[in-house]
Structure 1
């Protein structure tokens, strides 16, 4: 195995410790001569069987660089939609005939691809689902007092948290509106870049305005989530397998998610979380209130959420399925 990645990519030190050769490079655009030259050099010298590409720019450049090499191309897709037969960029990536398989991080993504094929192209077997595994030991919640120290939230107040950089489809307006329907002691903590959005203005007009807090972008967002009581994701489109929901579940924080994208795949309904119809204020408020008003159920559901990730989304399962795909494409048993 060899890896090409940016010099500051996470995991670089781990690759070196494992004895994996790392070459520094990054696709700055879909047509990047420098990265294409580096990929061709490594294909020529290392002669790999698989070229595994992890974002659209890398896919475009990797496909072009691999021309003339007998290498199988695997592409990764992490969001629903955004691919079109009318878009030339899509033909440079996921629709290109050189792509042997597209690993979809959620089955919702695979189903979207299959549904939107044109005259049965690409073939259905090109798209497979491999969930991205997480180890619960990767996450440690922040101490509860940080919520009071930084945001003035009383130590005994239940806190609903959501993480997102503002996009309309994230549904944060609905979450702010929902806060008015919660018990008076419940607070909402919003983490992420929301500058220039209408959210602050909406919060100021809310009857719950004194209980809505904006934390901005935080490097400790996952840990802050672990200090809260409920995680809410209201996104109604474009979601893959949302990492923020997984981070919450790993720390025993029960999630309430919209039935969109891969979010429902993470949850056993009414066991390890609650699923609500997208863009439905009444259903969202009811689900959150159900947990706000029942602390023992929150704790039980949070434990079930943690167990769900531990058993069904373990990294070992991701590795096993990926190696199985490599074996299938190459005929080489690497297990």
Structure 2
């Protein structure tokens, strides 16, 4: 089978792209893969070294006649049986370029929410009648999207992004450089300060922790230094133990040095890489049950699940792990094992290959 992928692989900061590695793994399943992406994209060398042909182009806007013509010509000349698009610019142009051609069209959906069958703009992308299959990053995304798809709901399915423990070799960062004393119990939160990331909920939880507990909160991500956030920090009884690290390219190394990781999102998550990175480094995760976050863990075994917006439950989870360090360490190790056993790249490549063969044969 011959498959074309259209996606952007720029700005990876030399990190591993799980979906790219999953795609490279398709070769082991008898799939001839080619990729259309920016010629100067960070991952081009990795694709070429793996024997994947790269077409150096990516659409610059959601609807571009130049992009449509380029993609259509490649689909016609290349004899592809399927084309898989990963972002809205790629999806919208591919959907039109594939009109009337004998090629199956697949799209990637990476989060819940922000799509509706009553929004006409969505028919340019995932809800286009030209789309044969929509691959979701998590079951929660699949369930959410099926509500908006007309006709055959089975066209929506889930393929998890797989990881490999060998990709993660960072040494834990020295948190002393961030003002955190040696031996402190550190709760890390990696997220840019968008409303849906639940930072106010996490800071509300600091009011509910034991006042004499040596717990420090480390906030990693952009937008944490706004007047609104500073006001919430100043109001916290833990204000002297809340540390702002800002945006960090070494965020995995920073979270690896923590005892607990919290993602307090209130809505619209996919399969958060920040949670996966914490789990890989053996850091016990506390996640809100939105999007695919809760699918990553087994509640009470390899992590703690809370309801979105529940500051009391977040505080209880942190307090429990603070008071039982052995449980905290064991939960972190089970979290690491869960990624290796249930979310590895080999499984993802095999699952994606099955979906591609099913889609091309019409057997779903």
Q: Give the TM-score, by structure 1 length.
A: 0.93
Residue of structure 1 equivalent to 2:328: 298
Unpaired runs of at least 5, structure 2:
1-32
| 1:218–1:34 CA distance, 2 compared to 1 (3 A) | farther
Decide which of 226, 238, 249 is 2:268's aligned counterpart. Answer: 238
Runs of 4+ in structure 1 displaced over 4 angstroms?
A: none
Cα deviation, 1:201-240, whole Å, max 9, x if unaligned, reads 2112222111111111111111211111100011011001
Contact 1:30–1:60 (CA<8 Å) still a contact in 2? Answer: yes
Alignment equivalent of 1:96, drawn from 106, 128, 132: 128
Q: Give me the whole-angstrom Cα distance separating, in 1, the residues matched to 2:115 and 2:151.
A: 12
Provide structure 1 residue ranges, at least 5 long, that are not aligned to the other structure: none
Residue equivalent to 2:350 = 320
* Deviation, structure 1 residue 165: 1.2
Aligned match of 2:171? 142
1:86 aligns to 2:114 (yes or no): no
Distance 2:151 2:192 in 1: 33
Which position in structure 1 is the counterpart of 2:159?
130
CA distance in structure 1 between the partners assigned to 2:358 and 2:60 by the alignment: 32
**Residue 8 (structure 1) shift:** 4.2
CA distance in 2, matches of 1:191, 1:63: 38
Number of residue pairs aligned between Structure 1 and Structure 2: 328
Correspondence list, 1:218-297, <5 A: 218-297=248-327
- Report the aligned-residue RMSD: 1.7
The equivalent residue for 1:167 is: 194
Shift of 1:39: 1.2
What corresponds to 2:60 in structure 1?
28
Q: Residues 140, 274 of structure 1: CA spacing in aligned structure 2 closer, same or farther, 3 A cutoff? A: same
Q: Secondary structure at the match of 1:102?
A: strand
Alignment of 1:43-82 (within 5 A): 43-82=75-114
Change in CA separation of 1:197 and 1:137 when aligned onto 2, cut-off 3 Å: farther
Does the 8 Å CA contact 2:179/2:243 hold for their aligned counterparts?
no
- Bigger shift: 294-303 or 26-35? 26-35
Contact kept, 8 Å, 2:172 with 2:255, in 1: the verdict is: no
Shift of 1:196: 3.6
Distance in 2 of aligned mates of 1:8 and 1:306 = 34
